[in-house]
A and B are shown apart, each in its own frame.
Chain A
Amino acid sequence: MQPFVTHTGVVATLDRANVDTDQIIPKQFLKRIERTGFGQFLFFDWRFLPDGSANPDFELNRSIVAGASVLVARRNFGCGSSREHAPWALADYGFRVVIAPTFADIFFNNCFQNGMLPIRLSEADVDELFRRAAATEAQGTPYRLQVDLAAGTVGDAAGWSRSFTVDPFRRRCLLEGLDDIGLSLRHVDSIAAWEAAHAASVVE
């Protein structure tokens, strides 16, 4: 897995609550058997008009957020289906960080498996990010955020900064780009011992 240490990138805002994984990647694109290539289908039904052209009203299609790698959204981001195709699509599109007041549990876990960092900030802080992004973009410049995972901080060039917390184990895995399964297999003796202890108590 690609390690995540620090990241600086253009912010794209998505001013909607309860964005579900069906919106992030609609079901007609779940038939692929690879982990890659999903970015072209990200937010497909919102991003494209029925004739296949880009929907000019959709936030991510604004030229000022071209190349965005930090997504800022509203409450309960990633709710619904467990499809890991959602973080695959976000990552493949170029996002490395998603910031929202709250995330759905399965989506939140899935992000960490893909070198992508989900950050929970307060509703007021997310409001502030929406304001700052809009004000910066109004002057014709993309809004950028810097994320430092080891320090647990996110901030902009104008001095706004907040700290965030990540589960220490998840943080270590991201910082070092560790293979979850490889780590768990180090405990294979404990797993075998658990199985041996329980085999006796299971009623056939």
Chain B
Amino acid sequence: MPSTPRTLLDKIWDAHVVCAPPGELPLLYIDRHLVHEVTSAQAFEGLRLAGRRVRRPEKTFATPDHNIPTTDRRLPIADPISKQQIDTLRNNCREFGVRLFDLGDADQGIVHVIGPELGITQPGMTIVCGDSHTATHGALGALAFGIGTSEVEHVLATQTLRQAKPKSLELRVEGGLHPGVTAKDLVLFLIGRLSTEGGTGHVIEYTGPCIRSLGMEERMTVCNMSIEAGARAGMIAPDQVTFDYLRGRDYAPRQFDRAAAEWERFRGDADAVFDRVELFQAGDVVPQVTWGTNPAQVVGVDATVPDPASFADPNERESGSRALDYMGLAGGTKIVDIPLDRVFIGSCTNSRIEDLRSAAHVVRGYRVAPTVHAMVVPGSGRVKRQAEEEGLDRVFRDAGFEWREAGCSMCLGMNPDTLSPGQRCASTSNRNFEGRQGKGGRTHLVSPAMAAAAAVTGHFTDIRQWRYR
């Protein structure tokens, strides 16, 4: 009897269902559990109170990233509450036998940067972390999603998660991106089309020639922001790009060719049926800039800030006008006329070596505008060292950027890197929510190249017209 054609999601899901007892949600086995300081303390405490242990410490990896300073790492952490949270992670990892990439470890970095970078993330795996941007790891053909702290505790104790199977959503992108248009622009464009809840209840599989043409780090940028469309996970079937990326990485299988042959299985069947399919043309995408307070409030750099009164949906009208109020913008303003105070290049969306190369390429031979304060925060210690080997740090420093240590930094401003009230920032991060980068701060999401250009000119600038030096 021929078996039913299955999607990539179906295949990974089926391979990980431990049991589905009657009247209960299925238990899904978790291959990799990534842990950081902000969402784990209460989970470890729960284990301790119940006298439980971590079932599979060797499948659990931790690093501090959200809360840490990105300035000189030799100095003590000034904020005592931040320090306590980081010390707590360290003590928990020691007590429960979890591998910690600690501050000062050469491989420390943003959890979603170091997972793939170290080869901890592999195709066909289930991966969770107490962080909504866990979707990033789906770029390597894994099923990866964010969970809450109670679920972190559940995974620590059982190496499984109670989950109803999500629906599948294929986002197929035809054609190729125009020069100057990046993976970040593509995903912002897709979120704008889907809305912030268009993917709720679904796992997105990105398919089509445009997605296939993306490099590994570009795929991570796309999958990373799946949650901004409401989808807990985004994934891309593994191919030669994936295998070439993983080969030789620290935690990649030693018998790599055998493993890669196994991973070939994790590809949807040609005639598999998705619950929903949406089609897009890559040629429609121009460099994107968000104007509001959620990532779906986005337009092309060549457009104007929209007038929410023109929106058909009453919820969108209300949230649009609230957003413009918060952002201090008026409908009809040209995007390129919006001046900036700050530029932030970093975050789990855009802090990898290719992001930094792209930004440095724009900045080379220019100076940061005198009205702008700009910083680059590499995603990991490895990214930082590689950038320094390539001289990118000099390009940034010479132009007037600050060059920092690895961490989440001003993506969410839990550490001292924050916007002041009213400050306007071009940011390569993933969320432009009210107060996200600092109370009263105004965030516009863009690609690394667009952020770099804005740093130089002091306002948004269409990167397609940039004169590279």
Contact = CB atoms under 8 A, between A and B. Distances in A.
Contacts of A106: 132, 146-148, 232
A105 B230 contact: yes
- The range of chain B's interface size is 35 or more
A33 B162 CA distance: 24
A181 B227 CA distance: 26
Contact of A191 (B29, B46, B131, B149): B29
B174 to A, nearest CB: 28
B200 A102 contact: yes
B24 A183 contact: yes
Given A30-B414, A79-B196, A204-B255, A17 B318 contact: yes
Interface in B1-60: 18-19, 21, 23-25, 27, 29, 38-39, 41-42, 45-46, 50, 52, 55
Interface in B126-172: 130-132, 146-151, 153-154, 157-160, 162, 164, 166
Contacts of B46: 181
B329 to A, nearest CB: 18
B148 A22 contact: no
Interface string B72-85: 00000001011011
Interface stretch (A139-147, A152-160, A167-175): A167-175
B38 A30 contact: yes
Contact of A79 (B166, B230, B439): B230
B433 interface: yes
A167 B294 CA distance: 30
B181 to A, nearest CB: 26
Contacts of A198: 29
Contact of B158 (A81, A114, A167, A191): A191
B294 A18 contact: yes
A109 B81 CA distance: 28
Nearest to B132: A82
Interface in A70-87: 74-76, 79-84, 87
A23 interface: yes
A184 B154 CA distance: 8
Contact of B19 (A18, A180, A185, A190): A190
A113 interface: yes
B434 interface: yes
Contact of A104 (B79, B147, B197, B421): B197
Contacts of A162: none
A35 B153 CA distance: 13
A27 B412 CA distance: 7
A39 to B, nearest CB: 16
Contact of B18 (A16, A23, A82, A190): A190
Given A80-B132, A181-B52, A187 B21 contact: yes
B197 A79 contact: yes
Interface string A184-195: 110110110011
A98 B414 CA distance: 27
- The range of chain A's interface size is 35 or more
A28 interface: yes
Interface in A9-31: 15-18, 20, 22-23, 26-28, 30-31
A24 to B, nearest CB: 11
Interface string A42-84: 0001000010000000000000000000000011100111111
B27 A102 contact: no
B411 to A, nearest CB: 10
Given A16-B319, A181-B50, A203 B253 contact: yes
B88 interface: yes
Contacts of A35: 42, 149
Contact of A31 (B146, B253, B414): B414
Contacts of B146: 82, 106
A180 B158 CA distance: 11
B431 interface: yes
Contact of A18 (B24, B131, B319): B319
Contacts of B255: 203-204
Nearest to B40: A33
Contacts of A102: 197, 200
Interface of A: 15-18, 20, 22-23, 26-28, 30-35, 45, 50, 74-76, 79-84, 87, 102-106, 109-110, 113-114, 167-170, 172, 180-181, 183-185, 187-188, 190-191, 194-195, 198, 201, 203-204
5 contacts: A32-B81, A110-B150, A113-B148, A191-B18, A194-B18
Given A23-B435, A31-B414, 11 more contacts: A18-B294, A33-B84, A76-B196, A79-B230, A82-B130, A83-B148, A84-B149, A106-B146, A110-B150, A181-B46, A187-B21
